[in-house]
Amino acid sequence: MATGEVLSQPTQPPAIDRSAPDNALSSEVHATDASDDQSAGMPADSDESDDELFEVDRSLVDEALMDEVDPEDLVPGPDTCSPQEARAYRARLNEVGGSVFVYETITTCTITAKKLCTAFGVKPPFWLEDQPDKAYYQVLGLAIGRALARRSRLPAYRTIEDAARLIKNSKNIMVITGAGISTSLGIPDFRSKNTGFYSRLREMGYDDPEQVFDIANFDEDPTIFYSLAGDIIPDLHNWTPTHQFIRLLQDKGKLLTNYTQNIDNLESHAGISRAKLVQCHGSWATATCRKCGYKIPGEDIFDKIKQQQVAECPECVRQLAVPRPGMKRKRSSNETAGAKGKKRRQSDSDDDDDDGQYDIPQPGVMKPDITFFGEPLPNIFFDRLRDHDKHRVDLVIIIGTSMKVAPVSEIPHIIKRRVPQIYISRDPIGHIEFDINLLGDCDVVVAELCRLAGWDLKHKMLPEGQKINVEAVYPEEAAQHTWRVSCAPTTGNSSAPGGTAVVDFA
């Protein structure tokens, strides 16, 4: 059986369990009915007993799925879908379901399984390179199952006017933000490989910021972080029109939570309440002593960072300065036990001679409360999402992030499917289906949304009376839902400011 063959092989759920509320959908893919077996040249046998020949180690398959490529980044070739083809295939799958989709594609040989994998973000794995096309069925089946388990678009919302109406009418808006909302202030996204910070790291012999932001490396030698972090300490006085937009949602009583992946803490400067802010990767707002846990405002260590000097804990310094006659001074180093402790005990407890580094008590080192690699994410992320927001949210707006970093990248699949999701960013992404995509400078997009909603978004970086163009990005698609929003070139003959009329919300 042809369709069954493709999709009955994966008898487990898709490798990446997105915990979508209706994962049952994915079982559809395994339950495809048998049809015309041999016509597609596929073997007639069906279940577990099937071809040992192509049985592949599940961990290899999982790896192929985990290593997801964004279909929007595909370079078309004989074995690779173009982004347009990928979009069309994904839309078709959502339209007709797994069985019909597989029949239309694989059973009727209109496309190879190898090529179709790419429409679902799976790069054909190298270990299948010279295998017959059938060998790709297992990976393809799981990729299709994964796609079906993810959210699909809500057809009721398509245009920028729909987006403005949603914002105006929703009461509990979740805003998910990333580096793109701060770049208009010149703050580099240190995760993106094109920033000055990255090239500086390379000059110093580090290939990867993970080395600098690794907690074990920091504890071993904080000077590396302190010598480099000057490039990424945040601005204390400015924020962008997009931050102002989130603040406006808060002022109107509509902001449920802002989940930010940014560590720059600009949300706080813009006046977004701590109670409505989840800084998923921590932030520069505070710094904590690695030894005694003492906390200070993050900006208190900025001068030291600028001087490329390690900031010591003021509390540790205070404690060490207090003379304690008759008491053994507490051993004090970044290590808690072991050889150093033993050595310490051998010597006099209170001498300040310099006969060895082990005898000099050291104050702890301050670390900004940005989440380093090797540190757990702040608990509040999961707690708030699962126990509070998931049941209240009525609109999701995602701004300035490519949604590739977990756990934030999981949120769209965790939210109930009927909740509309709007995506605002410079470039489209293909691995998550949003209802409305508004592509462009996010400051421009949010300003236009506010204008359409009849709201007054004021910010010094927003020019007055800006004329805005909104164009369909994929004109070939029947139902447009992806738009390029840009400032129209000033021609001087425009009679009225602004683009289309304010949306009538009556």
Annotated binding-site residues read 289, 292, 313, 316
- Helical packing angle, 241-251 and 442-453, nearest 10°: 30
332 phi, psi to nearest 5 deg: -145, 95
State which of residues 69, 292, 360, 487 lies at the interface with Zn ion (CB under 5 A): 292
The stretch among 341-349, 358-366, 445-453, 480-488 that binds Zn ion (CB under 5 A) is 358-366
> Which residue lies nearer to Zn ion by CB, 161 or 315?
315
Q: Residue 289 CB, nearest distance to Zn ion (Å)?
A: 3
Say which residues have a Cβ less than 8 Å from residue 329's Cβ, sequence separation at least 6: 320, 349, 350, 361
Instruction: Say if residues 172 and 249 touch (Cβ distance below 8 Å).
Output: no
Sheet holding 282-289, edge to edge: 295-297, 282-289, 366-370
Chain position carrying tokens 């690695």: 290
Instruction: Give counts: helices (H), strands (E), the chain.
Output: 19, 11
The stretch among 148-156, 285-293, 412-420, 462-470 that binds Zn ion (CB under 5 A) is 285-293
Residue 289 interacts with Zn ion (CB under 5 A)? yes
Q: Which of 106, 110, 109, 108 is nearest to 140 (CA)?
A: 106
The stretch among 58-66, 232-240, 289-297, 469-477 that binds Zn ion (CB under 5 A) is 289-297
Structure tokens of 499?
Answer: 């683009």
Q: What CA–CA distance (Å, rounded) separates 278 from 258?
A: 6
> Which residue lies nearer to Zn ion by CB, 35 or 332?
332
Q: Which of residues 162-191 bind Zn ion (CB under 5 A)?
A: none
The stretch among 79-87, 225-233, 244-252, 312-320 that binds Zn ion (CB under 5 A) is 312-320
Residue 294 interacts with Zn ion (CB under 5 A)? yes
Q: Residue 218 CB, nearest distance to Zn ion (Å)?
A: 15
The stretch among 205-213, 252-260, 360-368, 467-475 that binds Zn ion (CB under 5 A) is 360-368
Pairing verdict, β 436-439 and 421-425? parallel
Rounded to 5°, the CA angle 162-485-184 comes to 120
Catalytic residue among 281, 413, 459, 481: 281
Q: Assign residue 422 a region: left if phi > 0, alpha if psi is -120 to 50, beta otherwise?
A: beta
Upper half-sphere CA count for residue 43 (Cβ side, 13 Å): 18
Residue 10 interacts with Zn ion (CB under 5 A)? no
Q: Which of 450, 447, 426 is nearest to 438 (CA)?
A: 426
State which of residues 15, 229, 280, 313 lies at the interface with Zn ion (CB under 5 A): 313
Q: Residue 332 CB, nearest distance to Zn ion (Å)?
A: 9
Q: Residue 301 CB, nearest distance to Zn ion (Å)?
A: 13
* Largest CA-CA distance found in the chain, in angstroms, rounded: 92
> Which residue lies nearer to Zn ion by CB, 293 or 463?
293
Residue 302 interacts with Zn ion (CB under 5 A)? no
> Which residue lies nearer to Zn ion by CB, 152 or 334?
334
Residue 301 interacts with Zn ion (CB under 5 A)? no
Terminal Cα distance for the chain, rounded: 55
> Which residue lies nearer to Zn ion by CB, 56 or 320?
320
- Helical packing angle, 442-453 and 160-169, nearest 10°: 70
Q: Residue 339 CB, nearest distance to Zn ion (Å)?
A: 22
> Which residue lies nearer to Zn ion by CB, 320 or 377?
320
Can you say which residues are annotated as belonging to the binding site for Zn(2+)? 289, 292, 313, 316
Q: Residue 502 CB, nearest distance to Zn ion (Å)?
A: 55
Q: What value does the CA radius of gyration of the chain take, rounded to a whole number of Å? A: 28
Please state whether the peptide bond connecting residue 14 to the residue before it is cis, i.e. omega within 30 degrees of 0.
Answer: no
Residue 364 interacts with Zn ion (CB under 5 A)? yes
Question: What does the H/E/C string look like for 214-250?
Answer: EHHHHHHCHHHHHHHHHHHCCCCCCCCHHHHHHHHHH
The stretch among 206-214, 223-231, 307-315, 483-491 that binds Zn ion (CB under 5 A) is 307-315
> Which residue lies nearer to Zn ion by CB, 64 or 366?
366
Count, residues near Zn ion per rule CB under 5 A: 8
> Which residue lies nearer to Zn ion by CB, 317 or 501?
317
Q: Is 269 a catalytic residue?
A: no
State which of residues 201, 229, 316, 395 lies at the interface with Zn ion (CB under 5 A): 316
Q: How many residues does the chain have?
A: 506
State which of residues 37, 161, 315, 359 lies at the interface with Zn ion (CB under 5 A): 315
Residue 287 interacts with Zn ion (CB under 5 A)? no
The set of catalytic residues is 281
Q: Which residues bind Zn ion (CB under 5 A)?
A: 289, 291-292, 294, 313, 315-316, 364
